[in-house]
């Protein structure tokens, strides 16, 4: 009598969840928290949002934006064009941090923003900075602003892994042992017939 | 002054976050996450150290 093949022990298999993936896109770790994986959710949230915000601060809050060109929507290189993203490719990575990078889209499409006199910070938040101001800032700084935009892009790219973790669970590279039990060696899936080579 | 201004103080933070987040997306148990993060942290630190030494050597050869 041959025994049925036993699957190797793996970490908690998880049903794919588009909702959890979307929540983790909006706010890093929110999908994991929705799934009850609080520790990992809080780790992702604090680490990635902290890294993204620190990166922005290191760049004087002028390194997350979408390039805009003069001429408005009728300009083929204006808002909404591919050229806007090609010229500011960093945003392709920053975008994946979720809501935290949406103000750049808001600014790019010229939606209403807080008054400049009352709220100068929010008025310019993730708005394309003046090129001369940026150049002046970089010339007078050390390499910190350069590291700043790297932080923001890395945070966004790492969140893609977090989104996948929320969607389908961890990408387990080695079988995990069940909690409180020693890992068992799986039985062979097929038994060789006697006398076979 | 050097300690206060050096950008290199930001690098350990990046190393910590990348290794922790990456490992947490590959495992579910905390002991596995921390172990994997430690290993990745060592690998990345070693890589950065080699690059730093090469650049330092180059700066000595071609000042």
Altogether, the residues listed in chain A come to a count of 197
Question: Which is nearest to A37 in space by CA: B22, B13, B27?
Answer: B27
- Six-digit token string for A194: 């006697």
* Angle, vertex CA A93, rays to CA A90 and CA A98, nearest 5: 120
For chain B, say whether A181 makes contact (Cβ under 8 Å): no
Determine the Cα–Cα distance for residues A197 and B13; give it in Å rounded to an integer.
56
Altogether, the residues listed in chain B come to a count of 63
Helix (H, G, I), strand (E, B) or coil at A177: coil
Q: Do B17 and A54 touch (CB under 8 A)?
A: no
- Residue A108: predicted pLDDT: 87
SS3 content of chain A, % helix, strand, coil (to 5): 50, 0, 50
C-beta of residue A34 within 8 angstroms of C-beta of residue A167: no
Q: Do B28 and A12 touch (CB under 8 A)?
A: yes
Interface of B with A (CB under 8 A): 5, 7, 10-11, 13-14, 17-18, 20-22, 24-30, 32-33
- Six-digit token string for B9: 């103080």
Radius of gyration of chain A (CA): 24
Helix (H, G, I), strand (E, B) or coil at B61: helix
Q: Do A47 and B21 touch (CB under 8 A)?
A: yes
- Residue B19: predicted pLDDT: 96
Q: Which residues of chain A are under the pLDDT cut of 50?
A: 1-10, 182-197
- Residue A69: predicted pLDDT: 67
First and final C-alpha spacing in chain B? 23
Q: Do B21 and A151 touch (CB under 8 A)?
A: no
Q: Compute φ and ψ for A6, nearest 5 degrees.
A: -105, 130
For chain B, say whether A50 makes contact (Cβ under 8 Å): yes
Measured between CA atoms, the residue of chain B closest to residue A163 is B25
Determine the Cα–Cα distance for residues A143 and A136; give it in Å rounded to an integer.
13
Determine the Cα–Cα distance for residues A181 and A165; give it in Å rounded to an integer.
25
- Residue A43: predicted pLDDT: 97
Which residues in chain B are contacts of A54 at CB distance < 8 A? 10, 13
Residue B5 above 80 pLDDT?
Answer: no
Which residues in chain A are contacts of B20 at CB distance < 8 A? 43, 47
C-beta of residue A164 within 8 angstroms of C-beta of residue A96: no
Cα B12 from chain centre: 6
Question: Which is nearest to A141 in space by CA: A60, A55, A62?
Answer: A60
First and final C-alpha spacing in chain A? 21
- Residue A79: predicted pLDDT: 54
Determine the Cα–Cα distance for residues A9 and A184; give it in Å rounded to an integer.
8
- Residue B44: predicted pLDDT: 94
- Residue B36: predicted pLDDT: 94
Tell me: the pLDDT tens digits for B9-62? 788 888 999 999 999 999 999 999 999 999 999 999 999 999 989 999 999 998
Q: Do B21 and A12 touch (CB under 8 A)?
A: no
């Amino acid at each position: 009598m041959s025994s049925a093949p036993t699957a190797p022990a793996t970490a908690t298999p998880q049903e794919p969840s588009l909702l959890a993936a979307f929540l983790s896109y909006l706010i890093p770790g929110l999908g994991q928290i929705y799934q009850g994986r609080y520790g990992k959710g809080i780790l992702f949230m604090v680490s990635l949002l902290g890294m993204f915000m620190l990166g922005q601060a290191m760049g004087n809050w002028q390194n997350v934006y979408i390039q805009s060109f003069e001429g408005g929507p009728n300009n083929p290189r204006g808002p909404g064009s591919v050229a806007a993203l090609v010229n500011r490719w960093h945003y392709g990575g920053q975008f994946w941090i979720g809501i935290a990078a949406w103000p750049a889209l808001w600014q790019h499409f010229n939606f209403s923003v807080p008054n400049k006199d009352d709220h100068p910070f929010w008025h310019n938040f993730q708005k394309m900075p003046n090129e001369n101001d940026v150049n002046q800032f970089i010339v007078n700084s050390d390499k910190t602003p350069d590291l700043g935009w790297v932080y923001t892009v890395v945070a966004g790219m790492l969140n893609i892994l977090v989104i996948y973790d929320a969607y389908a669970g961890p990408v387990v590279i080695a079988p995990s042992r069940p909690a409180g039990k020693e890992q068992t060696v799986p039985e062979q899936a097929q038994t060789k017939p006697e006398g076979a080579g | 002054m050097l300690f206060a201004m050096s950008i290199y103080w930001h690098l350990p933070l990046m190393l910590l976050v990348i290794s922790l987040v990456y490992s947490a997306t590959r495992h579910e148990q905390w002991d596995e996450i921390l172990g994997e993060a430690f290993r990745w942290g060592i690998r990345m630190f070693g890589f950065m150290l080699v690059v730093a030494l090469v650049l330092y050597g180059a700066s000595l050869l071609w000042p």
